[in-house]
Amino acid sequence: MKVILVAVTTSQDRYDIEYSLDELKKLAEALNMKTVDRFFQKAEHPNARTYVGKGKLNEIKLAVFAKDADAVIFNDELTYSQLRNLKEELQIECIDRSYLILRIFEQRASTPEAKLEIRLAKNLYLLPRIAGLREKESRIGGSKAGVTNRGAGESQTNLDRRRLLAEIQQIRKSLQQIEKRKKTERTRRQKNDIPIVALVGYTNSGKSSTMNSLLKYVCENGKTVVEKDQLFATLSTYNRKISFEQKEFILVDTIGFVSRLPHTLIHSFYQTLAEIRQADLILHVIDSSSPYINEQFQVVSQVLYTLQADRIPMIFLLNKWDQTTDETLCIPGQKYLTFSNKTQLHIRQLLDLICQEVGPSTLRVRLLIPYSKGNLSHILEEGLHIYRKEYQEFGIYYDVELPVQKYPDFRMYDLDQIVQ
């Protein structure tokens, strides 16, 4: 499919226009679309009716014809009336940035949860556009048969809207159920006191590669995750347990961020991204070879702020250091590490740093060990820190600091677990 890209830039726009269009091109490539031409216009605001002004629109029209394009992609989220007007003017499929990203997510979603989330995001995107969609139909009807048809168009709009709203409600319910189940899993993990370390970063920065490098370093045959030179290669969160020098932590690979992620998407993926909010440590993976490192850094920081995850301890990974041209790059006042998955630079240091950050792997628990389980009492009495010990009717009560690895043997005697 051949496409033409169009962007409007304002003087205050912090995004360099070429960068914006390059990124849009990559987003289009993610859907196998080939860019055959690109246009941009400098303006204070996008045109309310047709995004770009009349002159630019004529240039685009000519290009559509000359390059035999199949669609035009606009670099912002457009209102329904803008999309409708553009379609009428250009007589070709018109796609806005939000819809493009939604379609990529839709194509990549593989887990039932991701599928539901993307469906929700798409419905939320469509909801305010339904009226316009039907308005056009009723206008056509109206010219033929007058008032009656307009009424029919309007009631159809209401029907569509009700259908969408009902579906949105249904999806939300299903997502809530999934979230409930995940929450219990999370509580169990927390109970086991295994710290959670989340890989976060701009799309294509190397999060999944970093996960794989760490997995391979600690265990040759670790189950790896998909890494690809492609935007949004990862669309669900993946968890892997890592054991390293008596420490254990759960490493979570997450969805990449991109500038101007559609609001409806952040909203729908909030639960998936909740994994990030639960993290004890964030590894912020940065593509240090990107010429747009600052912009990408800003976007990730902003999304972390939106997710209320900006206070979580963070290590910055200056990844792809093997390709970096600016070797003076640094992040003053922060914990950071130059890193490369290609050359394995500083993998060991990263593991050490993570272990330092996630702290001791013990857990304070209240246990009631039956008198018949003398072997378990024996383990507790051997050098563990006991805060309190009491002989009770059904066994010995211990308030004790237990190493995480030993917890599974004691879970069924954990008083807090029994009460739950």
Ligand X SMILES: Nc1nc2c(ncn2[C@@H]2O[C@H](COP(=O)(O)OP(=O)(O)OP(=O)(O)O)[C@@H](O)[C@H]2O)c(=O)[nH]1
Residues shown for the chain: 420
317 lies in the site for ligand X, by CB under 6 A: no
Nearest to Mg ion of 208, 289 (CB atom)? 208
DSSP 255: P
Binding range to ligand X, per CB under 6 A, among 37-45, 59-67, 129-137, 318-326:
318-326
256 lies in the site for ligand X, by CB under 6 A: yes
Round to whole Å and give the CA distance between 50 and 79: 10
Nearest to 251 by CA among 235, 240, 243: 240
245 binds, among Mg ion, ligand X, none (CB under 5 to 8 A by kind): none
Nearest to 307 by CA among 349, 347, 261: 261
Alpha carbons within 13 angstroms on the beta-carbon side of residue 237 total: 24
234 lies in the site for ligand X, by CB under 6 A: yes
Please state the closest distance from residue 253 (CB atom) to Mg ion, in A.
6
Nearest to 276 by CA among 299, 308, 245: 308
Q: How many binding residues for ligand X (CB under 6 A)?
A: 24
What SS3 class is residue 41? Answer: strand
Round to whole Å and give the CA distance between 84 and 134: 11
Out of 323, 334, 349, 420, name the contact with ligand X by CB under 6 A: 323
Letters for 208-227 (x = contact with Mg ion by CB under 5 A, - = none) are x-------------------
254 lies in the site for Mg ion, by CB under 5 A: no
Beta-carbon contacts of residue 115 (< 8 Å; ≥ 6 apart): 109
319 binds, among ligand X, Mg ion, none (CB under 5 to 8 A by kind): ligand X
Out of 228, 267, 348, 389, name the contact with ligand X by CB under 6 A: 228
297 lies in the site for ligand X, by CB under 6 A: no
Binding range to ligand X, per CB under 6 A, among 85-93, 126-134, 340-348, 364-372:
340-348
Out of 38, 108, 122, 207, name the contact with ligand X by CB under 6 A: 207
Out of 42, 172, 342, 364, name the contact with ligand X by CB under 6 A: 342
Query: Token match 């246990």: residue?
Result: 367
DSSP 414: B
Tokens of 4: 């033409």
Residue type at 195? P
Nearest to ligand X of 157, 319 (CB atom)? 319
395 binds, among ligand X, Mg ion, none (CB under 5 to 8 A by kind): none
Looking only at residues 189 through 208 of this chain, which bind Mg ion when binding is defined by CB under 5 A?
207-208
Nearest to ligand X of 28, 94 (CB atom)? 28
Give the full edge-to-edge strand order of the sheet including 395-403: 362-369, 395-403, 386-392
Out of 46, 195, 201, 262, name the contact with ligand X by CB under 6 A: 201
Bin 333: left if φ > 0, else alpha if -120 < ψ < 50, else beta: left
Query: Token match 């070429």: residue?
Result: 18
Contacting positions for ligand X (CB under 6 A)? 201, 203-209, 227-234, 256, 319-320, 322-323, 340-342
